[in-house]
Structure 1
């Protein structure tokens, strides 16, 4: 179909179908990729609306990464993309990259079990519920993400490594560090803790993600299973 003939300006759509209004009403995470891209593009032109232009871009490139890596000349070759829109797209992608870098800097780099243990103490020592907190790391031991995986009456003998490694694969982590607290205040690893650590280590070997350490946190101290020779 000729995009010029099929052009339907966004302002003529009902409010419930307009990307900007939908974002305001439902939040950015509820919008599909093409609507987010349409908001960034802001307007279309004689070659179609911003929504149609967004679809055209997404259909042209294999995935978002290819769109991000596109040279200015490649963007300009697409009908409806002029210098201004090409520059706006490149600025958005660069901003996203810098935001990611800033997040890594904020979360920091894990240099030792002691450093990680100090963080786990500050995060978990006062909790009345048992929690498992995982650091997902890249090859430089920079923290990509930290996430509490389990909360509540956790029995480490039945906790499954699958939940931990599923997220590790999703964020492309090279290594993980795991910590959990004992609400009793005693950081001494239980037999269940030791068994869970062994299962976690073996599962990591299978998928190529290294378990750096498992730390057990009490009220005022922690124990590293690696330093205890249990990992």
Structure 2
């Protein structure tokens, strides 16, 4: 009787994933698993490597449309659709993870979760997160999506849902499509208006978060307005 030992580096990505876990694989190996096959002139690893080398960062991959993915060497229509579907599913998993949080424990944790959803938006989105007395999330509502003619929501739109859901506190979140999280004078005025209106209803404005591409701004952490 004799045994054959297999060195980890000689394993194909699928076998490595089974034996060592997905987290041990490189970006190239993970993408190769999704692509499954290469082309007549390129192996699947060469195709995966070529795609990654054509991007400035991995983040850029999720911003590509199906048509743009098809423009990458070795990626046809079917592969482009599968990659896009994988990216969308991973985004929804991240969003679901946030929604399943039992409590809002910190502005930083909440902001980092919301970056998954808001940092890539090309228009301004304003969300309101309604909470109960234990800071448990009751409901999240998209209050407003920016247009050319309008760039901010009215306090009454936010407070309408607070009354509907019998919330005791609320967190306001909006993104800056420019990628910078620095608040504007309009953001300051809006925060003060929401705080004042909330207090009239006995509602606590816990925070107003501004989401940038890779940063956030918390009014509770950075100012004495809240």
TM-score, structure 1 as length reference: 0.52
2:136 equivalent among 126, 133, 142: 142
- Give the total of aligned pairs: 126
Large movers: runs of 4+ above 3 Å:
none
* SS at structure 1 position matched to 2:222: coil
Q: Does 1:210 align with 2:198?
A: no
- CA distance in 2 between counterparts of 1:120 and 1:134 reads 12
Instruction: Return 5+ residue gaps in structure 2 as ranges.
Output: 1-97
* 1:125 aligned partner: 119
Instruction: Return 5+ residue gaps in structure 1 as ranges.
Output: 1-103
Q: Does 1:179 align with 2:169?
A: no
The 5-angstrom pairing of residues 13-92 of structure 1 reads none
Range 119-128 or range 182-191, more displaced: 119-128
Q: Does 1:151 align with 2:151?
A: no
Q: CA deviation at 1:105?
A: 8.1
* 1:197 aligned partner: 191
* 1:113 aligned partner: 107
* SS at structure 1 position matched to 2:100: helix
* 1:5 aligned partner: none
- CA distance in 1 between counterparts of 2:210 and 2:123 reads 14
* SS at structure 1 position matched to 2:220: coil
* 2:62 aligned partner: none
- CA distance in 2 between counterparts of 1:105 and 1:164 reads 19
* SS at structure 1 position matched to 2:206: strand
- CA distance in 2 between counterparts of 1:167 and 1:205 reads 15
1:142-190 residue CA offsets vs partner (Å, 9 max, x unmatched)? 000011110123423xx31100010011001000001100001010000
The answer (yes or no) to whether the contact 1:107–1:144 under 8 Å persists in 2 is no
Q: CA deviation at 1:122?
A: 1.4
| 1:139/1:188 CA distance change after superposition, 3 Å | same
- CA distance in 2 between counterparts of 1:170 and 1:107 reads 21
* SS at structure 2 position matched to 1:216: strand
1:95-128 residue CA offsets vs partner (Å, 9 max, x unmatched)? xxxxxxxxx9824210111121112211211111
* SS at structure 1 position matched to 2:221: coil
* 2:214 aligned partner: 220
- CA distance in 1 between counterparts of 2:101 and 2:140 reads 8
* SS at structure 1 position matched to 2:138: strand
